[in-house]
Every structure is written in C-alpha cells, then in structure tokens.
Amino acid sequence: MKFTQIRLITAVISLFLSLAAYYFDDIINRDGVMYMEMVQAYMSGGLNAMADIYDWGFFTLLVAWLSELFSSPIEFTASALNSILFVVFTDALLLISRQLLPNLRQIAIAAVLILAFFSINDYRDFIIRDIGYWAFTTLGLYHLIRYQSSFTVFHAVSWQIAILTAVLFRIEGVVLLGLLPLFVFYKQPLRTAARNWINLNSLVLPLLVTLSAIVVGQEGWVQAFGKFSDYLAYINTEALTLRAEQKLTILEEKILTPFSAEYSALILYSGLLVMLAYKLLEGLSIGYLILLGFARWQNRQRIAIPHRNLIVWFFILNLIILMAFLFRQYFVVSRYCVMTVVSLFLLVLPYLTRLIEETWLSRRRWWLGLFAFIVLAGLIDTFHSTNSKAYIKNTAIWAAHELQAEDRLITDDEFIQYYLKREKTNVTITYRPQKLGNYQNFDYILLVEKRRPTALKPLSGIRLELVHQEKNQRGNRASVYRVVKDDR
C-alpha cells in the first residue's frame, strides 16, 4: 500500500467519524450556542453586534460567509466546516508521522492510532473554533519539519500561511508564530540560522503591516478581533500578583488552619501543577499509556526519533501557553490541552508503532488482540453515550410549535432558549440564566430538572400545571409548566 492510499483512507474515515459524531449527537455544545448566536448577530447587525458577544470572530465570519454562499443552515454549515477541518488535522498528523517513522507499515499503524485517539475524537461533535487552530497549527509544524530537511521556499511559505491561519482561529498561535522558528538557532551556525529565520518570517512582517493598515481603516474589524488587547493582561505583572494574593488570602482564611497558612502558596501552585499533569496524562489516554508501558517493557532500546528536538520545542511552547492560562485563570479544561497532548503523542508514537509492528510480525495473536482491544476501546468510548440530552432539545422544539404566539415563556436554560430561537417561534421568549425572577408575569415556564426536582423549589409559591415533559433513562427531564392564574 502506498502512502497516498493511506492518506486517502485516513481522510475518508476521519470524515466518516465526524459525520457519525454529528449524526448521533443529542444536543449542541455550550460554546456552539455562543458561536451560532455570533453568526446570527453578524448576519443581522454586522461586525459590532458580533463583537459584543465575543471579540475573536474569524470562525464565526467563516461560518456566516459559507452559510450565505451555499444557502445552508448555520449549524449545519459549522458542523460541515469542522468535519473538513478534522480531516486537515488528522492528515497533518499523518504527514508528520511519515517524517518520524521508518516504514509504511508503521505509518499505517500510526493512522489507526490517530483515528482512534480519544483526545481528538472527543470533540468531533463540537462546534468550536479550536479545531481550526489544531488543524493549521499541526499543518504548520509539518511544514516546519519539512523545512528543517529541505530548506525550500515552499515549506517556509507554507509554514507561515498555516500558522497565520491558526492565529485567526485562536490568538495563542501568535506565541508559536513568534517563537517556534527560533529553533533554527539550535545547532546551526549563527549566519545560517539567521538566514533560515528570515525565510521562515519572510511573509509574516509585511503581511502583518498590510493587514494592520487595512483593518484599522475598516469600521468594526478592530472590535471583531479585539482579543489582542486582552492578552496584554498576561504581561501585567502587577495585576497578576494582586490576583494571586487574593487567591492565597482566601486559601489561608477560609480553608487552611493558622498552623498551615504559611504553606498556602505551595499548596495552591502544586495543586495547579498536579491538575495540569493529570489533564495531560488523561489526554494521552489510559489505553495509550498502557501501550507505552508495554512498549518500554518489551524493548528498552531507545528510538532515534527524527526531528525529536523540534517536537520537544513545540511541546515546551504549548506547555508555556497552557501554564500562562492556568496561572492567570486558575483552571484549565481538557480542550485547551489538546496541542500539548498531541506533542506528547508524537513523541511516544514511534514506540507504539514499533510495539504493534513487532507483535504483528511475530504473530503473537493474543498480544495483538489485546492491543487492538485497547485501541478500539477508546474509539468506541468516544461515540458511546450513557446520558442522552435529546430530551432538552425535543422539549424546546415541542414548545416552539405547540404554544401560541401570544404566550409568554421564560426559561433559565441556555440550550432551551437556543432551540426555541432556532425554530423561529412566535412565542415571546425571556431567558434569565441566573434566576427566573418575576415568573408570575409569564404564561409558561420551561425548566431542565435533574433527578431531584430542585429547580421547582424557588417556584413553590405559585401554582403550576405540567403541560409537557420529556426525560432520559437517568430520570433527568425537561418540563413545560403553565402558570395557573386566578383569571384563567
């Protein structure tokens, strides 16, 4: 089998996995609601209206333009766009794998490991801008790797185009744009390294100057990409120190005893680092960690990985980005760790493919079956859901079509209000995310309730009539209540 065939098969399977994820998805993700609202705001009110919701709007603009071009629903357009971006992402990982692995057999094994990688597949049904960032950052890394081998203008230009596109999806790409090319100064004569660095930035500076001149002169574009100014906070040491002191004060006064208060900084920052380490190991997945353990136990010989140092530098930069966010916001979500996890995955990939190849060639069927189970278990776990949320969407759709135009409805659930608006209902909708407030002034209340009906406790003072309800197997439910009034 040729490499082009492996690429084609991998791309087709990646596209199929994304389509399957969207098909079986119950409900849009929370960030997806925001992006769809941004698209609607842009279509109705322009750039300023979009920027009022969130001020980094390239993904939103792309969805809006494609939706208008193909006359397709915005949610479908976003899902289709992300499916294509996932193909780019997995293909870029496969291209990098070709540079790291010695033969086509191991590259084919790498394709399976990439397609089954939980940290990638877990977001296939999400509508998020991150996928574009992951795809073009990885593609940029590939071209930088190729430039290290060939020093051609094509790969130097391709690196810049890819990483600049990544920046349009997430501003964090600026760090990689500025610092990743500095790797050329590692083990290269200064004059040669300087020439290569100029080649890798030959488009960036002129392009940034040109774009800045264009954008500043266009109304709304500064606001639409105003996220740049937010990142100045990361170099505001005074504000960061004040925030840290506030966190430490809370820890000392509310949690620790007077005898351990002096260790508050140690406890806080070691806790954050442990959380980060856990997120990275979790992202690499238990299955792949088990395979890595088998690989090191079976063959302790170290593999000379081509371009290892560049990938390590890529890992360090992504870790710096992650830690900067962690120590400013004091939390981190798995999605922000993906590029750091991918860096680790690329570093351990040669050991995993060597293990599986040697097991295949030695015909050790039991071991091969075990490894296949570990790999496929992660893939199956990605698409297996034990907690359906379709009841939320179905209840909102029912209310949109069954309630009358003169009815006034209030809800405190973000997903409910999204699907109500998506159905273009004539019902008057009020969304209050914190509390329902003056619910007596409304005709209907739409609530999402867990197994314990705590959502109804604040409403115990009024009479409610259950009109419609849907629930899942766990007993979680969404309900439409009519407010019973004396004059009805």
Instruction: Give the model confidence (pLDDT) of 217-268 as tens digits.
Output: 565 665 656 566 666 666 667 777 888 888 888 888 888 878 787 888 888 8
Q: How much is the pLDDT for 461?
A: 64
Higher pLDDT, 143 or 425: 143
Q: How much is the pLDDT for 437?
A: 65
Higher pLDDT, 201 or 438: 201
For residue 362, the tally of other CB atoms under 10 A from its CB is 10
Q: In what order do the strands lie in the sheet with 428-431?
A: 428-431, 408-411, 444-449, 477-483, 464-471
Higher pLDDT, 462 or 415: 415
Q: How much is the pLDDT for 488?
A: 46
Q: How much is the pLDDT for 164?
A: 94
Rounded CA-CA distance 447/156 in Å is 54
Q: Is residue 113 exposed (0-12), middle (13-18) or buried (19+ Cβ within 10 Å)? A: buried
Rounded CA-CA distance 347/304 in Å is 11
Higher pLDDT, 439 or 415: 415
Which has the closest alpha carbon to 175: 189, 188, 163, 159? 163
pLDDT tens digits for 254-266? 888 787 878 888 8
Q: How much is the pLDDT for 456?
A: 59
Q: How much is the pLDDT for 327?
A: 86
Rounded CA-CA distance 10/91 in Å is 7
Q: How much is the pLDDT for 222?
A: 58
pLDDT tens digits for 45-69? 888 889 889 888 899 999 999 999 9
Higher pLDDT, 103 or 485: 103
With a pLDDT cut of 90, the percent of the chain lying above it is 51
Give the DSSP letter string of 146-162.
HHHHH--HHHHHHHHHH
Q: How much is the pLDDT for 316?
A: 97
Q: Kindly list the structural domains of the chain, giving each domain's residue range(s) and its CATH number in brackets, ordered by start.
A: 3-235+285-383 (no CATH), 390-483 (3.40.190)
Average pLDDT over the chain, rounded to an integer: 87
